[in-house]
Amino acid sequence: MKQLLLFFLLFIGIPTYAQTSLGIEAQAYPAGVVPGLRFDLGISETLTLTSRIGYNFTDRRDWGEHDNEEGGGPGFSLGFERTGFLTEKLSVYARTDLWFMDIDWRDTQYICPVAPPCGNIESAGATNITVLQPTLGIGYSFPLSGNYFVKPSLSFGYEINVKTDGEDVGQGPILLAGFQLGRLHQ
């Protein structure tokens, strides 16, 4: 974690003539949505250091380890984006998110011994997880007036529960559709 913070702080000293952008971003995936604030810092003509702070809202239904998993938590992202990929407006990126999530889960089990009565037994709990989520993505920038832009994106990655406090909850492949609205600053 210290190396990641040091790496990020090294780029703060890049000369102020570097192009930056500030904006909002939202990503949606089958089990949730991630709104956030984004800051990007150009480190060369085609390479950008990307960063985001956000909140990951999730409702995994029965796609996780339990019959119902829902919750969320704050997090941040760091990555690199290469612009001018195949065309001027197309970009590719690699990004890693770190989320600190609280997941409430519930299970229902039908029990029927040899003789009635039969019925459902409910159990519930909460799990705190730290999720590492590396992704690769592609985006296309549409310029607007006044240095504003809109950039839809599509990314694929993997959710890895690196720390779990409580019972195991879902993790695995993830596909995200995103939308960024930002403003370029010189």
Paired with 20 in beta bridges are: 41, 185
Whether 3 is in a domain gets the answer no
> What is the rounded CA–CA span in Å between residue 35 and residue 46?
26
- Give 63's contacts (C-beta < 8 A, 6+ positions apart): 30, 31, 69, 170
Name the nearest CA neighbour of 186 among 13, 11, 21, 10. 21
The CATH number given to whatever domain includes residue 44 is 2.40.160.70
Residue-range definition of the domain harbouring residue 50:
20-102+129-185
Whether 4 is in a domain gets the answer no
> What is the rounded CA–CA span in Å between residue 25 and residue 41?
16
> What is the rounded CA–CA span in Å between residue 22 and residue 39?
5
For residue 94, give the 3-state DSSP assignment: strand
Provide the residue-wise pLDDT of the chain in tens; the chain has 186 residues. Answer: 555 555 555 554 444 446 799 999 999 999 999 999 999 999 998 999 999 999 999 998 777 777 788 999 999 999 999 998 889 899 999 999 999 999 988 888 888 877 778 888 888 889 999 999 999 999 999 999 989 999 999 999 999 999 999 988 889 999 999 999 999 987
Domain count, the chain: 1
Whether 117 is in a domain gets the answer no
pTM exceeds 0.85, yes or no: no
Whether 26 is in a domain gets the answer yes
Whether 35 is in a domain gets the answer yes
Angle CA 134–140–143, to nearest 5: 130
Amino acid identity at 137: G
Whether 143 is in a domain gets the answer yes
Whether 13 is in a domain gets the answer no
Q: Are strands 20-29 and 172-185 parallel, antiparallel or unpaired?
A: antiparallel
- 3-state SS of 95-151 is EEEEEEEEEEEEEEEEECCCCCCCEEEEEEEEEEEEEEEEEEEEEECEECCCCEEEE
